[in-house]
Amino acid sequence: MKKGTLIIILFLLNSTFIQANEARIITLEQAIQIALDQNIEIQLGKNEIERQESQLRRSRADFLPNLNATTSGSRTIGRQFDMATITFDDITSNNLNANISANMVVFNGLQNINQLRSSRLGVESAEERYQRVREGIIFQTASAYLNYLLAAELLEIEKENLSAGLRQLEQVEAQVEVGMRPIVDLFSQESIAANNELAVIQRENQLNLSKLRLLRILQFDPMEEVEFVAPTIQEEELVIRDFDLVELIEHALQSRSDFRASELELQQARYALSISKGMRLPEVSLSASLSSAYRGQQRDPLTGSVMAFDDQFFDANINRSVSFNVRIPIFNRLQTTTQIQQRRIDFKNAELRLEDLQQEMYLELQQAYNDYIGYAKELEATEKALIAAEKAYETEQERYNVGSATLIELTNANNAYVRASSNRVQAVFQFVFQEKVLDYFLGRITEDFQISALSEN
């Protein structure tokens, strides 16, 4: 093989290997859409809607009449008395019977009407439940995504602190060599740098754990190379909104999909109770039938000859009937009474579930509202603390450089600055996300999940 050909082959193999290991780029919007496409609860919700729609079609069809057709045929072989010859002969007789009937319920205690109303509510309830499941998936995905971004930001802070510690270590080493600093400062700075390195390792572990949780939600292979786009925080867009707790609760009662679904299910339980009570009322129905038959040995009463198939089946043997039926329930082994009692209990349980959900919504919104107020205060406090800590650290750094401050004083100022930076990043993310927590509890989360304080790079 020629050397040039070998180089080309190696280049192509290397290019293929590099492309195969390129990281998959995922944005927040893409992550949410992937989670919605992959989540099993979403598929179950769609199936439940289809099931309820099928039940609705069945309830509508209950108003239509039943239509049935039956037919049977037989062949009889044996000795039979022949009226024409007044003898017993071996006869093969073919017989055919056909019937078509229809039945329609006119009144059944309004059971069919209440069932139709209940089925309509069932479709609406399933759609509301499905919507709430989608909101939950969006919220869960966004939460995991933002937790990953927060972990990445905290890791960057620790890396910057480690870099600053290593630069400080080089400076102390140089100063110790020329006798400007005691050897104890070198040992102290080496310990500080080691602790900074440990902090970086711990933050990396937290970042990896956050990434694994996010990958699990997206149902990605943990070994797949995925890069999540980190938005840039635009702190100037952080606006503290003035919420009114009473208005939030009223909005949630009107907008929450799960609350509307519970209200619909309460109405369904009421209709189910009415259906059971309707079983005690008489049922009125109409029936009609048309039948005919062919008998192989049927004879014409006038001529005595065997009648043809057409003469029998389409003329002589046709029977028509129309009937009016009333069924009055008297006793059915307490089945109706038991069912009414069970449906009444179901109705009470639906009332209790709705009341419990309403109380839970009150508590969730109040907690989310209080957290929002708290994070808003933290946002203001951490901004002031960060500015002060940064100025203090810069001052101590200058004093240490000229020999008027000790390494301990510089270390304390640096630690305070790192804590202030970390607190500031966490406060910003918590404040931004807490707005979305409020939106989730208010039922305002959609696929178009936007964070006003974050923008893509």
pTM score, whole prediction:
0.81
Amino acid sitting at position 345: I
Query: Could you tell me the fold of the domain covering 21-64+104-283+326-455?
Result: Outer membrane efflux proteins (OEP) (1.20.1600)
At 236 the pLDDT is: 60
Cα–Cα distance between 340 and 156 in angstroms, integer?
Answer: 65
Return the amino acid letter for 190. Answer: E
Measure the CA angle with vertex 359, ends 438 and 442; round to 5°. Answer: 20
Distance CA 269, CA 347 (A): 5
Of the candidates 135, 137, 146, 143, which has an alpha carbon nearest to the alpha carbon of residue 219?
137
Torsion (CA) 132, 137, 140, 144 in degrees, nearest 10: -160
Question: What 3-state DSSP class applies to 402?
Answer: coil
Where b means 16+ CB within 10 Å and e means fewer, 150-176 reads bbbbbbbbbbebbebbeebbeebeebb
Residue 230: how many CA atoms within 13 Å on its side-chain side? 16
* Distance between CA atoms of residues 399 and 391, nearest Å: 12
Cα angle 278, 280, 281; round to 5: 70
pLDDT given for residue 10 in this prediction: 42
Query: For residue 85, what pLDDT is reported?
Result: 64
Question: What pLDDT is recorded for position 234?
Answer: 65
pLDDT, position 318: 94
DSSP class of 237: G
Q: Which residues pair with 99 in a beta bridge?
A: 70, 291
Residue 304: CA atoms inside 13 Å, Cβ hemisphere, count? 5
Distance from the Cα of residue 216 to its chain's centroid: 15
Distance from chain centroid for Cα 72: 53
Q: Are 326 and 284 in contact (CB under 8 A)?
A: yes
For the chain, the domains span: 21-64+104-283+326-455, 68-103+291-325
Sequence-ordered strand ranges (E) for 213-318: 226-228, 232-233, 283-295
Residue with tokens 């440990």: 198
Q: Which two tokens stand for residue 278?
A: 């309707």
CA 428 remoteness from chain centre: 28
The angle formed by the CA atoms of residues 388, 389 and 390, to the nearest 5 degrees, is: 90
Give the helix/strand (H/E) hosting 447. none
- Integer angstrom CA distances of residue 448 from 25, 39, 102, 147, 272: 19, 18, 54, 19, 38
Q: What is the pLDDT along the chain (457 residues), one digit of tens a residue?
A: 444 444 444 444 444 444 445 778 888 888 989 999 988 999 999 999 999 999 999 999 999 999 999 999 998 887 766 666 667 667 778 899 999 999 999 999 999 999 999 999 999 999 999 999 999 999 999 889 989 988 988 898 899 889 888 988 888 888 888 888 888 888 988 998 999 999 999 999 999 999 999 999 998 888 888 888 876 656 666 778 888 999 999 999 999 999 999 999 999 999 999 999 999 999 999 999 999 999 887 888 877 788 899 988 998 999 999 999 999 999 989 999 999 999 999 999 999 999 999 999 999 999 999 999 999 999 899 999 999 999 998 998 888 888 788 878 888 888 888 899 899 888 988 888 888 899 899 998 876 665 544 443 3
